[in-house]
Amino acid sequence: MKIGAVFPHQEIGDDPIVIRDWAQAVEDLGYSHILAYDHVIGAVHADRDPKLWGPYTEEDAFHEPFVLFGYFAACTSRVELATGILILPQRQTVLVAKQAAEIDILSGGRLRLGIGTGWNYVEYDSLNENFDNRGRRQEEQVELLRKLWTEPVVDYEGDYHRVERAGFKPLPGGAIPIWFGGFAPVAFRRAARIGDGFIFGSGQTQNLEALAAVRKELDTIGRAPEEFGIEALLNYQSGPEAWRDEILAWQDEGADYVAMRAQALRGQGDGLSSPQDHIDVLSTYWDVVGDLAS
């Protein structure tokens, strides 16, 4: 099983040297991949109807994942680059296809595109996209993305997209893996039908329960579990006494990846005090669990 690290958007700061040093420490220590979250803008939560339920506000910092991965493609040589997740329906599909293809080409085929629908309707509104039909549009987006990555000229008409005898160059080496994320049964069903894998982003207990739900969906449609990838996000704040047990539990489940996240989480501690701390904990965690990586 591969062990990666979650890029600590909120706490890493904006010094490009520190960001480079963090990514290179991930690679030098032996982590398999870097996983990055996605939000374009944050919104004030107060006095919203309907209420914004997600954890992030206008105070939270997020580096744009495609630009970030372009930087990482140049300053690393081995680690996989995974979005976990990109909020796909709030972005233009053809532009995402182009950006993802470029990252995949410049990184030597290291991109894995994790996608989801998100929760922040203010962000959708600000990007001039429809929040209400985001799930249906996402399914069509996945279909179109795969065509754009593998066909030099695409002629496509769906409910939400029209591409008339057009394509882009350069193309990636093939269809980029598309993994899903989310917390609701509809996300599990959609991933089982059209996804290459699932990134589980809750706590350990909730993640294992969600895995069982996804596997039930795979069984319902007759899809072999070994054809479907599994990744779980694990919390540094769980403490050294839990780190190995958490990874071993996912090994027992046949997971392909786990990724350690060290930034502050609701109910999981106060986070770290400096960007340098985020570089240092990479070694601390790897010293305890690195022998479990394969």
pLDDT in tens, 149-158: 999 999 999 9
Average pLDDT score over residue span 122-134: 98
Q: How many separate domains does the chain show?
A: 1
Query: Rounded to whole angstroms, how far apart are CA atoms 279 and 206?
Result: 28
Distance of CA 259 to the CA centre of its chain: 10
Three-state secondary structure call for residue 21? helix
pLDDT of residue 271: 76
Distance of CA 286 to the CA centre of its chain: 21
Nearest-5° Cα angle at 201, 54 to 274: 75
Query: Rounded to whole angstroms, how far apart are CA atoms 201 and 9?
Result: 16
Average pLDDT score over residue span 266-289: 87
Average pLDDT score over residue span 131-140: 98
pLDDT of residue 264: 79
- pLDDT exceeds cutoff 70 at 267: no
Average pLDDT score over residue span 113-125: 98
Which sign, positive or negative, has the C-alpha torsion 110, 265, 64, 276? negative
pLDDT in tens, 246-256: 999 999 999 99
Neighbouring residues of 280: CB distance < 8 A, sequence distance ≥ 6: none
pLDDT of residue 262: 94
At residue 60, φ and ψ (nearest 5 deg) are -90, 135
Domain extent, residue 114, equals 2-292
Neighbouring residues of 250: CB distance < 8 A, sequence distance ≥ 6: 1, 230, 232, 234, 258
pLDDT band at residue 211 under the 50/70/90 scheme: very high
Whether 166 contacts 177, CB under 8 Å: no
Q: Are β-strands 2-6 and 229-235 bridged in parallel, bridged antiparallel, or unpaired?
A: unpaired
Integer-rounded Cα Rg, in Å, for the chain is: 19
Average pLDDT score over residue span 272-287: 95
Three-state secondary structure call for residue 15? coil
Which sign, positive or negative, has the C-alpha torsion 196, 201, 204, 205? negative
Whether 26 contacts 68, CB under 8 Å: no
Task: Write out the H or E segment, with its range, that includes residue 216.
Answer: helix 204-221
- pLDDT exceeds cutoff 80 at 114: yes
pLDDT band at residue 269 under the 50/70/90 scheme: low
Average pLDDT score over residue span 204-227: 96
Average pLDDT score over residue span 267-292: 89
- Residue 281 sits in a domain whose CATH number is 3.20.20.30
pLDDT of residue 266: 62
pLDDT in tens, 26-70: 999 999 999 999 999 999 999 999 999 999 999 999 999 999 999
Whether 249 contacts 207, CB under 8 Å: no
Average pLDDT score over residue span 170-184: 96
The Cβ of residue 136 has, within 10 Å, a number of other Cβ atoms equal to 15
- pLDDT exceeds cutoff 90 at 260: yes
At residue 36, φ and ψ (nearest 5 deg) are -120, 140
Whether 142 contacts 209, CB under 8 Å: no
At residue 28, φ and ψ (nearest 5 deg) are -65, -35
Q: Is the preceding omega at residue 170 within 30 degrees of 0, hence cis?
A: yes
pLDDT in tens, 88-111: 999 999 999 999 999 999 999 999
Distance of CA 38 to the CA centre of its chain: 8
Neighbouring residues of 39: CB distance < 8 A, sequence distance ≥ 6: 56, 60, 62, 87, 120, 123
With both helix axes pointing from N to C terminus, report the angle between 93-106 and 134-150 in degrees, rounded to the nearest 10: 50
